[in-house]
Structure 1
């Protein structure tokens, strides 16, 4: 785990216990939401008093928020893997979209926790300290997307008339991809309204938006399909496990750690 080498024995014990609590809470929330999360069951499984659980997390909502922080942290790791792949700016922005798909496919329990925490009744019962951690991590995800858009402008792949359009693009893609994934996992009526393949629909909408902005190179089905498979293969090989981080407090040791060098796939010759 990040930063463990410099922690005191007591700090390591605290982090380990919090990691154990989150590992037990994750499947409960995935199966039945907040109502299924039981402090009693967690305490029994860990063979400790329920008060010990409350020493780490003041309520069930705080556990959900801690899992949501894990969720966004994993998504950020996948985003970072995606943007470091060789390719045009259009390919790299597409890779981030595929990273969102891999995140939902491989870490559905964390995605569920991320959805639950956005309910005001849950969010309102959590601590400001951990809320700020989530905001910062989510902001870093959005900055990663914005960075690729700025690279596109700098390379001449896209021409924007106003500076605020970068933020508009980020919000537009976020709405299409995240919103589409939420509907995919929660709506029982997509097939009834003609959406047989929601992933394909999300990709088409994103490509239509980017083509409308004249972000070069424009969408071409065959090279795009090849790129999608290449990105998925790379990301699945590098997807972080759900419980990789024991606790979500800011860690200066982690910030000082140099990122791993990633294996870069062969450059795709065709246009996206």
Structure 2
């Protein structure tokens, strides 16, 4: 379940120019760091972020405390590293979403589906993105990892901003006065994050239990995108079919992996 950390790192390595690739020693160090992050993720899954300590990480790993401190300056630095792994996973899925052949609004749905998949595939890491923004984490994380985190966040925002700008230029998105690209990007993030949080954390509440057979996540997206005047409107296009086509053409592998392993609220 946790090997995806190494998978993402290996994909990044294969995509690098030869002159930027690691030496054998550097690769060994990077592999050890990914191994430590996997162990940390297991500890967090079992005991939560607040109970993660460097002593526990040392006890659960085959390495000395000194070796671990060569990789991470503190437990907070470990949490930031996990957050960066979550952001890299989002970017990987977003890049797949960009390949969807459809209208700009359908491409927006593909990005939302990618974000939803990132939450389904690694819920602990998904929640880590907010935990890593806590003052107690930020204050004790290394500058290098915080800088990397900011760069990854900018890359994600850039992908969303580009799609919004392209839709505006194509006259497919006709925003109302005051609806700037940054505001519309935030609205998209907020509607997705809120839907994921409720469907996963409050799945046994009556308000969600009664939604059997419905697709509340897509319904919310369509309400927002209609309000932004992103054409074609949902009254003029079957976005349920678009959603299914995205699943089939872009994310079939991820959907198959998740088919039998999710809580009811997120299916």
Q: Report SS of the residue matched to 1:99.
A: helix
Determine if contact 1:29/1:37 at 8 Å carries over to the other structure. yes
Secondary structure of residue in 2 paired with 1:90 = helix
SS at match of 2:208: coil
CA distance in 2, matches of 1:204, 1:221: 15
- Kept in 2, the 8 Å contact 1:153–1:159? The answer is yes
1:3 counterpart SS class: helix
Contact in 1 for aligned 2:100/2:107 (Cα 8 Å): yes
1:88 — aligned with what? Answer: 103
User: How large is the Cα RMSD of the aligned pairs?
Assistant: 2.7
Gap change, CA 1:31 and 1:179, over 3 Å in 2: farther
- Scaled by the length of structure 1, the TM-score of the pair is 0.77
Q: What is the deviation of 1:60?
A: 0.8
Tell me the residue number matched to 1:269. none
* C-alpha distance 80-238 of structure 1, shift in aligned 2 (>3 A): farther
SS in 1 for 2:238: helix
Counterpart Cα distance in 2 of 1:17 and 1:94:
37
Please state whether the residue corresponding to 1:118 is helix, strand or coil. coil
Q: 1:37·1:60 contact (CA, 8 Å) conserved in 2?
A: yes
Q: Give the C-alpha shift of residue 222 in structure 1.
A: 7.9
Distance 2:50 2:190 in 1: 28
Cα deviation, residue 134, structure 1: 1.0
> Structure 1 residue 182: deviation in Å?
2.9
Q: 1:73 to 1:46 in 2, by over 3 A?
A: same
CA distance in 2, matches of 1:36, 1:28: 8
> Does 2:179 match 1:182?
no
Q: Which of residues 76, 85, 89 is equivalent to 1:61?
A: 76
Which residue of 205, 210, 215 corresponds with 1:191?
A: 205
Alignment of 1:218 onto 2:233 = yes
1:136 aligned residue = 151
- Where in structure 2 are there 5+ consecutive unaligned residues? 1-9, 258-267
Tell me which stretches of 4 or more aligned residues in structure 1 moved more than 4 Å: 161-164
> How has the CA–CA distance of structure 1 residues 227 and 53 changed in structure 2, closer, same or farther, with 3 Å as cutoff?
same
Contact 1:99/1:232 (8 A) holds in 2: no
3-state SS of 2:234 partner: coil
